[in-house]
Amino acid sequence: MTNIRDIAAEAGVSVATASRALTGKGRVSAATVERVRAIAQRHRFQPNEIARSLSSGRSHSLGLLVPDITNPFFPELMAGAESAAKARGQTILLTAALGADSAREDLSVLRARGVDGFIVVGNPFDSAEQLREAAGSRPLVVVDRSESVTDLSTVVTDHVEGAALAVRHLIELGHTRIAHISGPPGLDVTDLRVAGYERELRAAGLEPRVVDGDFTVESGAAAVRALLDGPAAPSAITTANDLAAIGAMNAVLARGGSVPGDLSIVGYDDIVLAALVHPGLTTVAQDIGELGARAVEELERQLTGDTDVRTVSLSTSLVERGTTGRAS
Amino acid sequence: MTNIRDIAAEAGVSVATASRALTGKGRVSAATVERVRAIAQRHRFQPNEIARSLSSGRSHSLGLLVPDITNPFFPELMAGAESAAKARGQTILLTAALGADSAREDLSVLRARGVDGFIVVGNPFDSAEQLREAAGSRPLVVVDRSESVTDLSTVVTDHVEGAALAVRHLIELGHTRIAHISGPPGLDVTDLRVAGYERELRAAGLEPRVVDGDFTVESGAAAVRALLDGPAAPSAITTANDLAAIGAMNAVLARGGSVPGDLSIVGYDDIVLAALVHPGLTTVAQDIGELGARAVEELERQLTGDTDVRTVSLSTSLVERGTTGRAS
DNA sequence: CTGTTAGCGCTTTCAC
DNA sequence: GTGAAAGCGCTAACAG
């Protein structure tokens, strides 16, 4: 491995000058810069990032904590973050942790590895305070949590508006009995989407009806069965996420029903999977990759000294596919 | 940030002794070990991994290169690798690169970051030689490529047997016109699966029929349309992967056909998605997470000095769901 | 068993 | 503009 000493020697300058020439920081004559860089290039010299980190205190790496890689929502977000990071010369250190304990542990490991900051998707802890503590005073941006994290930069989509969008679509199709399958109660994302759902429904003079779910396929299936078997079955539902919507759809199909014939369904997220089921899932789209990319951008902003807390909110849109139809 | 000097000072020992006590390498009295560790624990001391890496030459991090995060196959593999790595105290540095150029670049960045070795999924280059060169003499294990990479440790599944499994299942169901939608021709995974398909079909005295695809949903749909519109339409197909199978299924459903009524379909991979479509996809299952985990294990083995090249081959199994039925 | 001495490869004052 | 020197926090010989 050729190191900066070799380069400096060959260029006939000190290591310090070579460093300045390479990084572009500090005064160096244009001539030396050119000479040093040419030599570095010829040797395909890659400065040792470890040494660089140790001495400069910055590692050009970002810790990304996601709750669950196998939920297709997160890889899409990771992809967005990864490419944004790469474009800025940062590397992603990935870790997946579900519970608070493992999250604390994982953040600690990443901290020891010197990540410059964290992107945390969701909040594995009970409070923003605990999260901040686990991040150890390092810059931090939270994705997809809004209410519960104050004083922390966040990147979110407008859940209230998104949920309202779904309801509006169903109302336009003539539906009047519209239920909502929610996420885990208490979670801010859940509550926000429920709020949007209820607001829009009430505005139309209709009665809201919420069944709790937990973002899983199974919970969507269970909820829809309960709904369909109960009194005054709905003709349409909105769901907290696409996975639950797909579970709901499968449950209807499994009992010989038809979608949207017997039940119109609107998902939420627009994961790639939404377009792959048959019929294609009508859903509230958020640009998931963008969520990750903006988080990187936000973090980068904080790393360059801008300390004010900011909330970037992305908009959502409805994408109509095959799971919604006119009320009969 | 408290560092090892603080710990050493408080314990009344030299930094070197503190280091030995903490790492457990070298002779230290049990008493000092205990004392030092207690102090470290109390301070929640986390040794700076950067410094540790610089001085020891090992970073306890693994570079993971995948071609495409958004293809659901890869996140499942990443999840397996990530948790196996974590269990061994290693951190995953993630990078996604499709072309040879960006792969070369990415590997170089990870090398500069001091990763101890690489796990490369697929081979972004034309040859194993180029891959080895891009990895810069660092230990390397390749996942999901077999033929084309010799002299390199690999983790694969038995593609020939897997493909044969699918065919056997269809033959048992009474099908005689069984086509195969393949992956990109020339790719070893493709060729192996085609070989297994042909072998098994010929063994039954049946005529093989292969249509080229490229692992995408669209290619599956296009291939099935061609097949169904052509002469002697098959009653069943096997596919190179689940995504193509799902595309095929959607294409049949979209034209008002039924699955498995009009066409039985067998996928390959058993990505989570396979269980989520309706009807559930019958498919050749490989334990994708295990693929990643074993890769980490293999790499670890090489890192501990065992240099012999090894190929670990995982077995596959058929999971029957709803897309296959008796021939009419 | 423990302390002392050198670095790992780079960045960063501080002089000149 | 450039060089010398110090040091980031730790590990790894080498003595004792």
pLDDT digits 0-9 by tens, B280-299? 999 999 999 999 999 999 99
Residues in chain A within 8 Å Cβ distance of B113: 49-50, 61, 91
Q: What are phi and psi of A281, to 5 degrees?
A: -85, 125
Q: What does the pLDDT look like over B184-229, one tens digit per residue?
A: 998 889 999 999 999 999 999 999 999 999 999 999 999 999 999 9
CB contact under 8 A, B95 and A93: no
Q: Give residue B135's pLDDT band: very low, low, confident or very high (50, 70, 90).
A: very high
A13 touches strand D (CB under 7 A): yes
Q: What angle do CA A126, A132, A134 make, to 5 degrees?
A: 85
Question: Is pLDDT above 90 for B127?
Answer: no
Predicted pLDDT of residue A26: 87
Predicted pLDDT of residue B147: 64
**Which of chain C's bases lie under 7 Å from a protein CB?**
1-5, 7-13
Please tell me which of the candidates A94, A110, A113 has its beta carbon nearest to residue B94: A94
The closest alpha carbon to A144, from A29, A207, A66, A38, belongs to A66
The position carrying tokens 């300058």 is A13
Predicted pLDDT of residue B160: 95
Question: Is pLDDT above 90 for B126?
Answer: no
CB contact under 8 A, B276 and A94: no
Please tell me which of the candidates B94, B114, B254 has its beta carbon nearest to residue A82: B94
Q: Give residue B318's pLDDT band: very low, low, confident or very high (50, 70, 90).
A: very high
CB contact under 8 A, B109 and A91: yes
Question: Is pLDDT above 70 for B260?
Answer: yes
CB contact under 8 A, B50 and A114: yes
Residues in chain B within 8 Å Cβ distance of A111: 46
Q: What does the pLDDT look like over B55-91, one tens digit per residue?
A: 999 999 999 999 988 888 999 999 999 999 999 999 9
Residues in chain B within 8 Å Cβ distance of A91: 93, 95, 109-110, 113
Question: What is the distance between the alpha carbons of residues B76 and A23, in angstroms, rounded to a whole number?
Answer: 38
Contacts 24+ apart (CB under 8 A), A229-233: A232/A177, A233/A177
Closest chain B residue to A136, measured at CA: B1
Residues in chain A within 8 Å Cβ distance of B271: none
Q: Give residue A147's pLDDT band: very low, low, confident or very high (50, 70, 90).
A: low
B56 touches strand D (CB under 7 A): yes
Predicted pLDDT of residue B77: 95
| Mean pLDDT, residues B126-148 | 88
CB contact under 8 A, B78 and A69: yes
Question: Is pLDDT above 80 for B146?
Answer: no
Question: Is pLDDT above 80 for B124?
Answer: yes
Predicted pLDDT of residue A37: 97
Q: What angle do CA B249, B76, B113 make, to 5 degrees?
A: 140
Residues in chain A within 8 Å Cβ distance of B108: 46
Nucleic chain C: which protein residues 254-273 of B have CB below 7 A from it? none
Task: Tell me what the pLDDT averaged over chain A comes to.
Answer: 94
**Which of chain D's bases lie under 7 Å from a protein CB?**
1-5, 7-13
Please tell me which of the candidates B82, B93, B246 has its beta carbon nearest to residue A69: B82
β-pair partners for B282: B266
Please tell me which of the candidates A53, A109, A273 has its beta carbon nearest to residue B50: A53
Query: How close A214 comes to chain B (CA, Å)?
Result: 16
Q: What does the pLDDT look like over A30-47, one tens digit per residue?
A: 999 999 999 999 999 999
Q: Estimate in Å the CA A279 to C1' C9 gap, whole number.
A: 58
Please tell me which of the candidates A59, A72, A74 has its beta carbon nearest to residue B50: A59
β-pair partners for A155: A143, A312
CB contact under 8 A, A277 and B277: yes
Residues in chain A within 8 Å Cβ distance of B98: none
Q: Which uninterrupted H or E stretch holds A296?
A: helix A288-303
CB contact under 8 A, A72 and B69: no
Structure tokens belonging to residue A76: 């899409």
CA B130, B131, B134, B135 dihedral sign is negative
Please tell me which of the candidates A51, A69, A86 has its beta carbon nearest to residue B75: A69
Question: Is pLDDT above 90 for A128?
Answer: no
DSSP string, B192-258: HHHHHHHHHHHHTT----EE---SSHHHHHHHHHHHHHSSS--SEEEESSHHHHHHHHHHHHHTT--
Task: Tell me what the pLDDT averaged over chain B comes to.
Answer: 94
β-bridge pairing A317-319 and A282-285: antiparallel
B8 touches strand D (CB under 7 A): no
A22 touches strand C (CB under 7 A): yes
Nucleic chain C: which protein residues 29-58 of A have CB below 7 A from it? 47-48, 51-52, 54-57
Contacts 24+ apart (CB under 8 A), A68-72: A68/A96, A68/A98, A69/A96, A69/B75, A69/B76, A69/B78, A69/B79, A69/B82, A70/B75, A70/B76, A70/B79, A70/B272, A71/A215, A71/A243, A72/A243, A72/A271, A72/A272, A72/A273, A72/B72, A72/B75, A72/B272, A72/B273
The closest alpha carbon to B105, from B134, B131, B130, B133, belongs to B134
Of all residues in chain A, the percent with pLDDT exceeding 70 is 99
Predicted pLDDT of residue A168: 98
Q: What does the pLDDT look like over A260-318, one tens digit per residue?
A: 999 999 999 999 999 999 999 999 999 999 999 999 999 999 998 888 899 999 999 99
Amino acid whose CA is nearest the C1' of C9 = A51
DSSP string, B18-73: HHHHHH--S---HHHHHHHHHHHHHTT----HHHHHHHHS---EEEEEES-TTSTH
Q: Estimate in Å the CA B98 to C1' D14 gap, whole number.
A: 49
CB contact under 8 A, B94 and A95: no
Q: Does A33 touch chain B (CB under 8 A)?
A: no
Rounded to 10 deg, the angle between the B30-42 and B4-11 helix axes is 120
Q: Give residue B19's pLDDT band: very low, low, confident or very high (50, 70, 90).
A: very high
Among B3, B70, B77, B287, the residue to mutate for chain A (most A Cβ within 10 A):
B70
> What pTM was computed for the model?
0.91
Q: What does the pLDDT look like over A175-221, one tens digit per residue?
A: 999 999 999 998 889 999 999 999 999 999 999 999 999 999 999 99
